[in-house]
């Protein structure tokens, strides 16, 4: 007879995605995904991950591929920046 240890499931992690712009010339636009608990409070992230994109893409690509959400769901703080001159969709999050 084999005994199998069953551990309780980890608490549910929700995701909060924010956009922002840092001043400068040119300004730096970014999207950030944070792990949050059920009450909407930020959970201390395991690590911080910075995502960069190629010439034909933007930080929005990481949202569309669900990469930001996947990282945050697994407890990481994910930050995707738009390299200067590569994105014109900053108005829409």
Query: Residue 30: pLDDT above 50?
Result: yes
pLDDT at 7: 56
pLDDT at 49: 93
SS3 72: helix
pLDDT at 5: 64
Section 28-50 average pLDDT: 83
Q: Which residue has the higher pLDDT, 3 or 34?
A: 34
Question: Which tokens go with 79?
Answer: 């930050």
Give the start-to-end residue ranges of the domains of the chain: 14-81
* Of the listed ranges 12-26, 58-72, 79-93, the one predicted with least confidence: 79-93
Distance CA 58, CA 38 (A): 30
Q: Which residue has the higher pLDDT, 9 or 46?
A: 46
Any idea how long the chain is? 93
Residue 86 pLDDT class (50, 70, 90 cuts):
low
């Amino acid at each position: 007879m084999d005994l199998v240890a069953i551990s309780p499931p980890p608490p549910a992690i929700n995701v909060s995605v924010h956009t922002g712009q840092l001043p400068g010339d040119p300004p730096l636009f970014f999207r950030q995904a944070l792990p949050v608990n059920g009450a909407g409070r930020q959970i201390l992230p395991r690590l911080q991950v910075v995502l960069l994109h190629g010439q034909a893409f933007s930080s929005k690509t990481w949202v569309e591929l669900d990469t930001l959400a996947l990282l945050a769901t697994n407890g990481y703080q994910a930050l995707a920046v738009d390299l200067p001159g590569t994105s014109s969709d900053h108005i829409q999050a």
